[in-house]
A = this chain, B = another copy of it.
């Protein structure tokens, strides 16, 4: 169903207000903003918007409208970005984060409950897996499977490697011919499994 121009205006106002202040306008605030002489004007517009499926309202509650597309939108998780993960990391101590990255659950295939985190990639050791210097890699805590890309603690530093488990002893492998490292995986602390990647602007590619 298509919205009329006026209805789109109302919807835009709702969006703008909600984005800016975080709370939904009440009918009176809509009325005042548009200069309506009566609340009914605002109410009937909201009703029209609801009928056309643009918003969803819960009855008899203050400011209880939500945008229809927000209702079925994938939730967003804020994953903390760590420059590096210190050695004795346990669940209680939260290492200091260099900001957060917000990603929607679906595009990463994340589980909302699993504590994910992001790591800023340094160096070119995974360049052949098309992971560049400066990329942010999103990781999850879980058991690695064969060919997963994992974050591992090597010599007190966290680095990204491919986890290979082909029946024999599992080992870690860099994706760069300059790093022909084959490191037995048992002795190492696997700190996470890569589930996604975010490459931002402000860089050259």
| CB 8 Å contact bits of A117-131 with B (1 = contact, 0 = none) | 000000000010111
Q: Does A4 sit within 8 A of B, measured CB to CB?
A: no
Residues on B with C-beta less than 8 A from A197 are 197-199
A200 touches B109 (CB 8 A): yes
Known contacts A110-B201, A198-B198; is-contact A71 B130 (Cβ 8 Å): no
For chain A residues 59-74, which have a beta carbon within 8 Å of chain B?
61-64, 66, 70-71, 73-74
For chain A residues 40-57, which have a beta carbon within 8 Å of chain B?
none
Q: Does A149 sit within 8 A of B, measured CB to CB?
A: yes
A200 touches B205 (CB 8 A): no
Q: Does A202 sit within 8 A of B, measured CB to CB?
A: yes
A96 to B157, CA, bound (A): 46
Give the residue of B22, B103, B147, B199 whose beta carbon is less than 8 angstroms from that of A71: B22
Q: Which residue of B lies closest to A104 (CB)?
A: B102
Give the residue of B100, B136, B149, B204 whose beta carbon is less than 8 angstroms from that of A73: B100
